Copies of this chain bind each other. A is one copy, B any other.
Amino acid sequence: MVSIKDVAKHAGVAISTVSKVLNNYPNVSETTRTKVENAVKELNFVPNSVAAALSSKRAGRVALLVNLNVDAQAIDEIDMRYISGALSKAMELGLDVITLFFFMFKDKTADEVTRYLQSQSITGIIIFGLSKEDLVIHEIIRDQKFKCVVIDGPIVNENTSYVSINHMQAQYDVALKTVDENEFDKILYIAGKRNGYVTDDRIEGMKRLAHDRGLSLKIFYGEFSELQARNITLEHGEKSHIIICASDLMAIGAMKALEEMDIFRPVCGFDGTMLMGYVGQKMNTVRQDFSHLAAMAMEELNNLFNGESGKYVEAPYTLTQINYEDIIV
């Protein structure tokens, strides 16, 4: 394996000089810089990131912490996009990444998790799928021993940023579109998890819409479960004109219920997953680009590494309709 030592020898300079070139230090003359760069090229040198991580507690290794819901189909798709988006950007930025799942830390204390992360020389974490109940993770964020970026969880401190679309506005928009298309005014809203961060925002969006348009609004928590959405629809679907759901998966549950009841109601979802294509109907939904969201998170983490303070980063979304033809490959 070719090391920094070989490069130094080849370029006729000291190891530290090579290191300085590699890490873009100032105070390196153009001549030595190019000498070193040539040596790097000729020897096909790739710095060993493990050694770098060990040696400097500076920027470095980041953990992708994913709250994987192994039972819900739609979630897989979202998580895969998160992960691949984050990894691509990390490679671009030269950051070292390991992927971890919430379930690995079940029954562990914040201290234990912290120690584990430190034992991996982790200095930054990106968190996907945080809910209010994940106390251990919250504690870790609060301790600020790591730079953190939370996706969809409104937490900011000196070392913590969060990135998210504007869930309130998005929910407002997609519901408005559906209402406008159908001109009814009794709305059934199937919200997400009672303790999920985005749930409150989206409910707020619905309330604003109901107020602005003088609509009647009934809200139930579907917990992002297809089954619960189905049951809620079976019970309250008939009395409503439109069913707005806080996730595509729940929208599917609602639609299946409506089919069963043999009545029609416009249904709209949230997330814009491909799964929507398999139900064989069109419906409005909010399309989030999860891959891009994750890339933004990685970029923000890099900013934190570079000394910036935590902040909120707003991601874009679009309204869309997904149907079978869009999916099939």
Which A residues have a C-beta under 8 Å from some C-beta of B?
A: 1, 44, 46-51, 53-54, 61, 68, 70-73, 76-77, 79-81, 83-84, 87-88, 91, 96-101, 103-104, 111-112, 115-116, 118-121, 225-227, 230, 252-253, 256, 274-275, 277-280, 324, 327-329
B73/A274 in contact, CB under 8 A: yes
Select which of B46, B80, B120, B327 is within 8 A of A96 by beta carbon: B120
Residues of B contacting A71 in the complex (Cβ-Cβ under 8 angstroms): 329
Chain B residue contacts of A99, Cβ below 8 A: 83, 87, 97-99
**Nearest opposing residue in chain B for A227, CB measure:** B328
The 6 closest A-B CB pairs, nearest first, are: A46-B119, A50-B121, A76-B80, A278-B278, A99-B99, A46-B115
Nearest CB of chain B from residue A256's CB, rounded to whole Å: 8
Can you spell out 22 A-B residue pairs with CB atoms less than 8 angstroms apart?
A1-B118, A44-B111, A46-B116, A48-B118, A50-B50, A50-B120, A50-B121, A51-B54, A68-B80, A70-B80, A70-B84, A73-B274, A73-B275, A79-B80, A88-B103, A91-B104, A96-B120, A97-B99, A98-B98, A225-B329, A227-B328, A227-B329
Q: Considering the chains assembled together, what is the distance between the CA atoms of A297 and B275 in angstroms?
A: 29
Shortest C-beta distance, A223 to chain B (Å), equals 9
Q: Is the CB of A226 within 8 A of B329?
A: yes
Complex CA distance for A98 and B275, rounded to whole angstroms? 28
Residues of B within 8 A of A103 (CB): 84, 88
Say how far A288's CB is from chain B's closest CB, in angstroms.
Answer: 15
B72–A329 CB distance below 8 A: yes
Contact A49-B119, Cβ < 8 Å, known A98-B98, A278-B252: yes
Q: Which residues of B contact A72 (CB under 8 A)?
A: 329
Rounded to whole angstroms, the CA-CA distance of A68 and B86 in the bound complex is 14
| CB-based contact B119/A48 at 8 Å | yes
Contact flag A101-B79 (CB < 8 Å), given A274-B73, A329-B225:
no
Cβ B100 vs Cβ A98 within 8 A:
no
Interface contact B119-A100, CB-CB below 8 Å: no
A73 to B278, CA, bound (A): 10
Sample of 16 more A-B contacts, CB < 8 Å, known A50-B121, A97-B99, A226-B328: A44-B111, A44-B115, A49-B119, A50-B54, A50-B61, A73-B275, A77-B77, A79-B80, A84-B101, A87-B99, A88-B104, A98-B99, A252-B278, A253-B328, A256-B280, A256-B324
Q: Are A50 and B53 in contact (CB under 8 A)?
A: yes
In the assembled complex, the Cα of A54 lies from the Cα of B277 at a distance in Å of 47
- Chain B residues with CB under 8 A of A100: 87
Across the interface, which residues of B come within 8 angstroms of A112, CB to CB?
Answer: 44
* Closest Cβ neighbor of A61 among chain B residues: B50
Give the residue among A79, A80, A252 with the most B Cβ atoms within 10 A. A80
B115 touches A230 (CB 8 A): no
Tell me the smallest distance from the CB of A61 to a CB of chain B, in Å.
8
The reply to whether B327 and A73 contact each other, CB–CB distance below 8 Å, is yes
CB distance from A144 to the nearest CB of B (A): 16
